[in-house]
């Protein structure tokens, strides 16, 4: 008879954790060696015993009331843990997607409300707003108060006011403004910086 | 590990609050036992069971296959326990001795059988206690959870050969301990 099978090989053989070739060799040996066969049976029995005790509750919580109490405590703690987690890092929910019907209805509502707002404005305001938007669209930085014959315009040299063919320029000598801006309320501003002192001067003109 | 019969099958995640409660109650005993067998004491098993469920429910969007919810949860539970052992670098069994032994018998079991069962279990618990935590974890994942060696290797973050070595050494040590005490 050949030498006995190594204990580690027997321990792995019982759970099929050896190669096919080694498994065949061990099987052949066990068929003729009662000592190794008994060892293999003992390892099989140990596996079964471990599986059995693994399904039993540990000492201290093996009675149902004890386990129920522990389970309730753990469940409560899990809830608290989840709530705390929500506070620290809110769980990402699936983003709400709008169907095309609600989206179209909402777009229609926006158009109706915008039209109502536009139509309810005083005509002078809508005209001024329209002109300002046209000017912005065409790149002109000017605000005109035509009903009074007054034009306030921000130019590259400063701010100019024109009325009845006459022009009044507001500037800081030869200095060129750093930035000019106009608003739809009929004002224009120009900002100058003195290169020597760093002082900033802001000139604002309001058309009334 | 196979899905236990009668367990709820979920259609979609995230689970509702009611489904979360059911998920916890249906799996708690199994998860607690798995973690307890790895860490070896009730207080740590209790903390880690809670941690495992919180992790699972917070990451439920990572669950791709709802049919494998129990397997997925087991993986989180065993990883949580293994991480704990890695962090602490120890395995404590003090909890077992400190806990009072309740006098509970299974139906149809007489007092002699109860004593024998209790002694036998204590004997096996002690036998498992002589293994290193890696040997015990490998043995439990292979024999109790029924995972193949490849999966055990993945969970323990080592090679399949190392896992085989842990399993073989664990079984041999366990057998020697039981024979010495017999």
Token duo for residue A147: 């009903």
Domain ranges of chain B: 10-93, 113-182
CB B49 within 8 A of CB B32: yes
Q: Which residues of chain A have pLDDT under 50?
A: 147
pLDDT in tens, A5-32: 999 999 999 999 999 999 999 999 999 9
Nearest residue of chain A to residue B98 (CA atoms): A60
CA distances from B59 to A3, B14, B15, B79 (A): 54, 9, 11, 14
Give the model's pLDDT for residue A106.
Answer: 93
Give the model's pLDDT for residue B110.
Answer: 57
Give the model's pLDDT for residue A83.
Answer: 85
DSSP A168: E
Give the model's pLDDT for residue B128.
Answer: 85
Residue B32: CB atoms within 10 A of its CB come to 26
CA distance B88 to A142: 74
pLDDT-wise least confident of A151-155, A189-193, B9-13, B33-37:
B9-13
B144 and A54 within 8 Å at the Cβ level: the answer is yes
Selected for mutation to probe chain B from A8, A9, A11 (highest B CB count within 10 Å) is: A11
Q: Are strands A159-163 and A150-154 parallel, antiparallel or unpaired?
A: antiparallel
- Residue B103 pLDDT grade (very low, low, confident, very high; cuts 50, 70, 90): very low
B32 and A74 within 8 Å at the Cβ level: the answer is yes
A50 and B24 within 8 Å at the Cβ level: the answer is no
- Can you name the residues that pair with A162 across neighbouring β-strands? A151, A167
Q: Which CATH number among 3.40.50.300, 1.10.10.10, 1.10.3210.50, 3.30.70.1140 corresponds to the domain B113-182?
A: 1.10.10.10
Report chain B residues whose CB lies below 8 A from the CB of A56: 121
Report chain B residues whose CB lies below 8 A from the CB of A81: 50-51, 54
Task: Decide if the complex's ipTM is over 0.90.
Answer: no
Q: Which of B51, B100, B143 sits opposite A50 (nearest CB)?
A: B143
B171 and A93 within 8 Å at the Cβ level: the answer is no
CATH 3.40.50.720 for domain B10-93, yes or no, is no
Domain ranges of chain A: 7-54, 59-89, 139-208
CA distance B162 to B74: 22
Token duo for residue A130: 């329209």
Asked whether residue B102 carries a pLDDT value surpassing 80, the answer given is no
Q: How many residues does chain B have?
A: 182
CA distances from B168 to A21, A74, B142, B148, B158 (A): 18, 35, 11, 14, 15
Selected for mutation to probe chain B from A54, A57, A65, A70 (highest B CB count within 10 Å) is: A54
Greater pLDDT, A109 or B102: A109
CB B11 within 8 A of CB B65: no
């Amino acid at each position: 008879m050949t030498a006995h099978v190594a204990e580690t090989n027997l321990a792995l053989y019982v759970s099929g954790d050896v190669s096919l070739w080694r498994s065949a060799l061990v099987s052949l040996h066990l068929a003729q060696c009662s000592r190794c066969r008994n060892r293999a049976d003992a390892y099989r029995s140990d596996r079964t015993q471990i599986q059995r005790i693994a399904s039993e509750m540990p000492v201290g919580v093996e009675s149902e009331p004890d386990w129920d109490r522990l389970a309730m405590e753990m469940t409560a703690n899990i809830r608290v843990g989840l709530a705390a987690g929500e506070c620290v890092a809110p769980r990402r929910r699936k983003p709400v997607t709008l169907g095309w019907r609600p989206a179209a209805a909402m777009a229609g509502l926006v158009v109706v409300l915008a039209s109502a707002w536009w139509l309810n404005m005083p005509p002078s305001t809508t005209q001024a707003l329209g002109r300002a938007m046209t000017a912005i669209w065409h790149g002109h930085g000017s605000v005109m108060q035509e009903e009074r014959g007054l034009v306030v315009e921000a130019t590259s040299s400063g701010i100019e006011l024109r009325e009845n063919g006459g022009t009044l320029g507001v500037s800081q000598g030869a200095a060129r403004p750093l930035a000019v801006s106009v608003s739809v309320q009929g004002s224009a501003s120009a900002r100058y910086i003195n290169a020597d002192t760093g002082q900033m001067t802001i000139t604002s003109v309001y058309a009334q | 590990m196979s899905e236990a019969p009668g367990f709820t099958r979920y259609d979609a995640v995230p689970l509702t609050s009611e489904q979360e409660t059911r998920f916890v109650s249906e799996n708690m005993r199994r998860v607690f036992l798995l973690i307890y067998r790895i860490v070896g004491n009730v207080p740590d098993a209790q903390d880690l069971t809670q941690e495992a469920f919180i992790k699972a429910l917070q990451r439920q969007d990572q669950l791709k296959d709802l049919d494998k919810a129990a397997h997925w949860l087991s993986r989180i539970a065993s990883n949580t326990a293994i991480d704990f052992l890695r962090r602490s670098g120890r395995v404590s069994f003090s909890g077992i001795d400190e806990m009072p032994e309740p006098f509970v018998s299974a139906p149809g079991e007489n007092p002699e059988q109860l004593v024998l069962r209790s002694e036998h279990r204590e004997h096996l618990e002690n036998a498992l206690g002589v293994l290193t935590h890696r040997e015990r974890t490998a043995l439990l994942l292979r024999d109790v959870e029924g995972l193949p060696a490849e999966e055990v290797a993945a969970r323990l973050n080592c090679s399949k050969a190392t896992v085989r070595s842990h399993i073989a050494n664990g079984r041999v040590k366990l057998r020697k301990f039981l024979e010495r005490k017999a």
